[in-house]
Amino acid sequence: MPDTVEQMPAIDLEAEKEQILRRYRGLLRSVRGERTSENTGLIRKAFNIAMEAHKDQRRKSGEPYIYHPIAVARICAEEIGLGVTSVVAALLHDTVEDTDLTLEDVRDVFGDTVATIIDGLTKISGVNWQTDSMQAENFRKVLLTLAQDVRVILIKLADRLHNMRTLESMSREKQLKIASETLFLYAPLAHRLGLYGIKSELEDLSLRAKEPEVYHDIEHRLKKGETVRRRFISRFILPIRQALEKEDFDFEIKGRPKSIYSIWQKMQTKHVTFDEVYDLFAVRIIVDSKPELEKADCWKVYSIVTDYYQPSPDRLRDWISMPKANGYESLHTTVMSPGGKWVEVQIRSRRMDEVAEMGLAAHYRYKGEEEHVHAMEGMLNKIREMLSDPGSNALDFVQDFKLNLFNDVIMVFTPKGEMRNLPVGATALDFAFDIHSQIGRRCIGAKVNHKLVPLSHPLRNGDQVEVITSRKQQPKAEWLNYVVTASARHKIKQALREQKGKLAIVGKEAVQHKLRAWGAKVNDENVNILADHLLATSATDLYWKIARERFNLETMAPPPVKNGRLVLPKGVRPKDERPLEEIVGEIRGTAGGTLTIGDDVQNMEYKLSPCCHPIPGDDVFGFITPEGIRIHRVNCPNAVQLMSNFAMRIVKARWKGKDSVEFLAGIQFSGIDAVGLVNRITNIISHESNVNMRSISFESKDGIFEGKVMAYVHDAEHLHSLVEKLRSVPEVRSVERIDH
């Protein structure tokens, strides 16, 4: 789906027509399996309709718009492995929204299934622009349609992947928004559906858009070490290859580098440099096995690998005996190579490899497409359960969905040995609600492996759990802090709403009694006047707060009553409780524009966010809060969520010249201890770089030192120059900026 569809003059129409036909023929070749003449006719018909519908449209890059649906259809066929129905829907996916073609036209020509899928894709694109969080509302629509037909989301992922591949033609702001949205929802969704190849590419492309320098640096380092890495892999696999041939295995061995994003993430989470990331690549062994021998063959291969290389006992992952919820099956182990390097080895059958690469869609290779659209029925049921909750807003919904479906899974057991799948981090209370909502509501504790534990106790893989209940127990608001599964949160919220409803009846009687005592009519108008005066958000909120004794009508002076109507002024909210729309309007004004940090922005205060400590020169954005504007770095840990969930509250920001101002920044460094090292480092910071230090600390243990300095710098360039000077000290092995 493009941002805008523009009309542009013809360029070289003949050359473009030839290019379009070449791409169309490439699409036909990419459709897997037997392609009957009837199927080819359907694809040609969809292509001709799309060509006609988009004939005057062009993308931001200036290319004919038809390139996009052809590319999306090809991704569906070639990279996800979908069949003809999905290819047809992908070719037509933007026609109903962007052209004169109607859904009924599509239904008449291609039938109900294609029309339903296109309707779902059109709904996803129909963003509610009025909501505070248009992205969250958009994601909710994504999930609503996913609950109808999983092909909708598979085509949407193909659409997003092609848009990410052609992101360069967008403005910087659009690139950041789309990349953040991709990292927040679409990459995890691809992962959950088992589309690991697409998930990795979406993450890599998002990193390239958000932090191009970091991306290209890692890419360059990977290319630089490619020859050495290839030589190492061929030496590593030689004895394994010979042993497998001796055992008459039909197999394939691949050595592949980890994705750039996963390497970068490891550098961030473990605070290490590129050179310190030890598992830059993985070796994959794929065996051609009969279905009944797959498991035994994989373990035989594992036995051969560990005959030659010592495995790490805590790095064995057996997803063959217990596959992941998305169908992923593989045996992972990490072994020590002769050169002293840890190497990850993945062992799987050919079928397992196809499922791992193409996820849910790989099953279409073994069964008809129509038969298998409900393969994720368990996942869809969980989504339907969440969608049935009328009380949740879009943001809560998206957070619950991410918690429920994107986490890795642990397996726990009931006292009778029944297995239950729960996300990592699930608690005893999550388990109770997973058994039954009534058991969850009455849960007072649990026994895990026969030991008594509290409701908030986190469960681990293989735990056996027995729930203890009491009829007197009632769900409490703090329970929401004890659970991680969306279904448990949904059931707790539902129970709390029911309790609130019961309390509201008590409060309603108290209000009616008081209105009669004041001589006022008992009607909706007077109730609303009283609610406005006491700053309640609704009549129900007023009743509930009175029942909970948040408002005391007994101490309130009797108000004047005129013709049975209360005469009360509206309550005045404190300034910091103003509706956010009012604050957004105040900051954005009518024209919007860019926030220049350092100028007086309509008397609104701005603060540099403490979560990432931006300094001049950093790529930044402004985030509107009730207290004013917070300035964040684009690569702030919270940026992805802010840009994805609150796009309406993001303002562009740029630095005004601030040469006379200094900003506090932190650096941490480590290396090998040596005589006079502290003196050299302080000399570089104070004298060579003209930096004022606020604090500096060193700690030395067993010949290794770690240091931390908080210093005042002018801008990002000043800080970068200081980091480079510290890196030039021979004993210093790593230097990095502190974000917190």
Residue 42 Cα distances to 29, 36, 88, 223, 670, angstroms:
15, 10, 7, 43, 63
Cα dihedral angle (453, 457, 460, 463), rounded to 10 degrees? 30
Tokens at residue 313, please? Answer: 């006992």
What residue type is 323 in one-letter code?
P
Retrieve residue 272's tokens: 């290490």
The answer to whether 361 and 82 have CB atoms below 8 angstroms apart is yes
Q: Which of 3, 63, 78, 98 is catalytic?
A: 98
* Cα–Cα distance measured from residue 291 to residue 355, given in angstroms and rounded to the nearest whole number: 14
Decide if 731 is catalytic. Answer: no
- At residue 4, the 3 state secondary structure works out as coil
Number of helices and strands in the chain (H, E): 28, 22
Between the CA atoms of 42, 45, 51 and 52, what dihedral angle is there, to the nearest 10 degrees? -150
Place of tokens 């101490």: 555
CA distance 187 to 206: 9
Both structure tokens of 214: 């970091």
Q: Please tell me which residue in 97, 219, 385, 619 is annotated as part of the active site.
A: 97
- Sign (positive or negative) of CA dihedral 376, 126, 157, 35: positive
Strand, helix or coil at 564?
coil
Q: Where are the alpha helices (DSSP H) in 548-599?
A: 580-588
Rg of the chain over CA atoms, in angstroms? 30
Query: Cα separation of 128 and 134, whole Å?
Result: 6
Which amino acid is present at 387?
L
Active site residue 549: no
Distance CA 638, CA 646 (A): 12
For residue 537, the 8-state DSSP code is S
Task: Return d(Cα 638, Cα 626) in angstroms, integer.
Answer: 18
Task: State residue 352 phi and psi, 5-degree precision.
Answer: -60, -40
CA distance 431 to 463: 11
Residue among 492, 400, 485 nearest 438 (CA): 492
481 CB-near residues (< 8 Å, 6+ apart)? 456
| φ and ψ of 595, to 5 deg | -80, 120
d(CA 685, CA 722): 7
Q: Rounded to whole angstroms, how far apart are CA atoms 707 and 639?
A: 28
Distance between CA atoms of 317 and 308, rounded to whole angstroms? 19
| Contact call for residues 498 and 535 (beta carbons, < 8 A) | no
Helix/strand/coil (H/E/C) assignment for every residue in 250-269? CEEEEEEECCHHHHHHHHHH
Sequence-distant (≥ 6) Cβ neighbours of residue 422 within 8 angstroms: 409, 410, 412, 430, 431, 434, 459, 485
d(CA 110, CA 119): 13
For residue 157, which of 75, 77, 245 has the smallest C-alpha distance? 75
Residues annotated as catalytic are 97-98
